[in-house]
Structure 1
Amino acid sequence: MRRFSASLVFIIITALSVVSAPTHAKGAEPFISAKEIDLAKLLPPPPASESSQTKAELGEILTVQVTRTPEMVARAQADAVENIGRFSDILGPRFNVENLPKFSAFFARVVSSEGAVVDAPKKFWQRPRPYLASDLVKPVVKMTASGSYPSGHATAGTLMGIVLANMVPEKRSEIMLRAREYAHNRIVAGVHYPSDIEAGRIAGTLIAANLMTREDFNAEFATARAELRKELGLTDDKLKKEK
């Protein structure tokens, strides 16, 4: 198992910057930024590179790697995008983001908020990705130049899941399970440690809680929710009866 020196890690990360960039919603204005949620003060620091925890987590990644099926790989690759459309298998065939312009624009801002908050702590901690710690790790998605901790995808998946579940509480359990799978698929893909994922889930929850206190968010949420529920054939009267 090969360990890279700090200088070599820096060189590799710099070179990877031309390979791929974070897949945040381009052009969408975030609701909040790192100035309002400073994750460097709210999250514990990531495990040190040579710590027993990091070594154990690397072992978990390698175990997943040798047991992942072609179907798991395909799912992880499809989940590489940060897009609310990845929840389509939960909401059914009537869910088509192309038919939901207000809903789509709203979630573009939600996803953009993840990047606006998470990019700063990634740069602050600069945790090297698992494939930089060991050449035994074989990623199945594009490698990225960003830090590993916290996971932006886990943050985005948790955030999208919470917001979507509040729109369609009839499917809350299924939506949150899908959000959890979405985050875990970053381990399947070989690009994150388990502690990155856990921190991302905490970050996504913190961002969601903050957004729900904002008037601009709640106004757009109500409009997007109404559009979605109409498209899905759901009514609030039906929801009240089920409660």
Structure 2
Amino acid sequence: MRTPSRRLAPFSAVLVCSVLSACATGPLEPTAAAVPPTAAAPSPVPEIRPGIPAGYLGRNLPDSLALLPPPPAKGSASFARDQATHAAARKLRGTPRYALATRDANLDFPQVASTFSCALGVPVSKADTPRLYLLLQRSMVDAGLATYVAKDHYKRTRPFVFYKESTCAPGDEDALRKDGSYPSGHTAVSWAWALILTELSPDQADAVLARGRAFGENRLICNAHWQSDVLQGRAVAAGAVAKLHANADFLADMKAARAEIDALRGAGVPATDCETEATALKLKIAGVE
């Protein structure tokens, strides 16, 4: 059985090398996650570092190398399409969409927890939705790590390296140069979250899925991935979410998270500061279907 790589997973500044090594070798001793006194405390969760809970799946991750085809070869029609999309995405530099892409590049909690707040219509944070917050943290580890068997096998060169350009996150570039581009870890995380949140809040499915798609496509705008990396990141996400549905802890957190969302919506507590995001999302990459 293949196991996750012990190398750095730079799809997140939080999931540094030692964190992913802990995932691959087994969780540390469980410590209870801190929750607000008014929220129902979850069962103790293993932490791979203080404040960073382990994923649900452990080593039972989808095999991305078996799941995905090889990345497009240089000189192929598929690679030409990747290059055309890269050129179109570069035109959004300096726009509000580029600013959103820069924000989406950062998978640090607590900031990233609010990514889908506007799509859901309710605030998502450790204070407002502690079980959903935990669900997002743990599923991020699973979806992100699931990309690494293929990443490490293909070691695909990222577009900013291929073209000798920059990205929207210069501080990540040294790590990204050493990390395979195919498939996209950011996309796997965001699409897994979109699938999970659509199940939790089906009436908001269109908005949630659109935000999940935009999050992945923002990796094109950031010049960190090719379009084929993003498309296959969604496939890995689907595989991870399918496996998560056989995990009892995941299902328990889903039930609790659904109750949190319903309670906020029932109390009329809205998401805030959504105008800037809405403006950015109106800007599309030309030619991306």
TM-score normalized by the length of structure 1: 0.80
Structure 2 CA distance for partners of 1:102 and 1:121, relative to 1, 3 Å: same
- Relative to its length, the structure with more helix (as a share) is 1
> What is residue 191 of structure 2 aligned with on the other side?
158
Amino acid at match of 2:67: L
Kindly indicate whether the alpha-carbon contact (under 8 Å) linking 2:125 and 2:133 is maintained by their aligned counterparts in 1: no
Structure 2: segments with no counterpart, 5+ residues: 1-7, 20-51, 269-289
Pick aligned residue for 1:91 from 106, 120, 134: 120
Instruction: Check if 1:22 corresponds to 2:47.
Output: no
User: Which structure has the higher relative contact order (CA within 8 Å, separation 6+)?
Assistant: 1
Instruction: Check if 1:37 corresponds to 2:62.
Output: yes
Aligned-residue offset at 1:67: 4.2
Aligned-residue offset at 1:151: 0.4
> What is residue 34 of structure 2 aligned with on the other side?
none
Instruction: Name the CA distance, whole Å, in 1 between partners of 2:188 and 2:215.
Output: 10
Structure 1: segments with no counterpart, 5+ residues: 1-16, 236-243
Instruction: Name the CA distance, whole Å, in 1 between partners of 2:256 and 2:55.
Output: 17
Q: Output aligned runs, 1:41-52, within 5 Å.
A: 41-52=66-77
Kindly indicate whether the alpha-carbon contact (under 8 Å) linking 2:55 and 2:141 is maintained by their aligned counterparts in 1: yes
Structure 2 CA distance for partners of 1:105 and 1:94, relative to 1, 3 Å: closer
Cα deviation digits, residues 30-63 of structure 1 (max 9, x gap): 1125654111011111112443422431232122
> What is residue 106 of structure 2 aligned with on the other side?
81
Instruction: Name the CA distance, whole Å, in 2 between partners of 1:115 and 1:166.
Output: 20
Aligned-residue offset at 1:91: 2.4
Aligned length: 216
Instruction: Check if 1:140 corresponds to 2:173.
Output: no
TM-score normalized by the length of structure 2: 0.68
Aligned-residue offset at 1:162: 0.6
Instruction: Name the CA distance, whole Å, in 2 between partners of 1:81 and 1:169.
Output: 27
Aligned-residue offset at 1:234: 7.3
Pick aligned residue for 1:220 from 245, 253, 256: 253
Aligned-residue offset at 1:176: 0.4
* Stretches (4+) displaced over 6 A: none
Kindly indicate whether the alpha-carbon contact (under 8 Å) linking 1:114 and 1:152 is maintained by their aligned counterparts in 2: yes
Instruction: Name the CA distance, whole Å, in 1 between partners of 2:191 and 2:202.
Output: 15
* Root mean square deviation of aligned Cα: 2.3
Kindly indicate whether the alpha-carbon contact (under 8 Å) linking 1:34 and 1:116 is maintained by their aligned counterparts in 2: no
Kindly indicate whether the alpha-carbon contact (under 8 Å) linking 1:110 and 1:160 is maintained by their aligned counterparts in 2: yes
Kindly indicate whether the alpha-carbon contact (under 8 Å) linking 1:65 and 1:188 is maintained by their aligned counterparts in 2: yes
Query: What SS is found at the alignment partner of 2:53?
Result: coil
Instruction: Check if 1:201 corresponds to 2:234.
Output: yes
Kindly indicate whether the alpha-carbon contact (under 8 Å) linking 1:127 and 1:148 is maintained by their aligned counterparts in 2: yes
Structure 2 CA distance for partners of 1:35 and 1:90, relative to 1, 3 Å: closer
Aligned-residue offset at 1:227: 2.0
Cα deviation digits, residues 190-233 of structure 1 (max 9, x gap): 11101001000111111111211222211121122212321232
Q: Output aligned runs, 1:146-185, within 5 Å.
A: 146-185=179-218
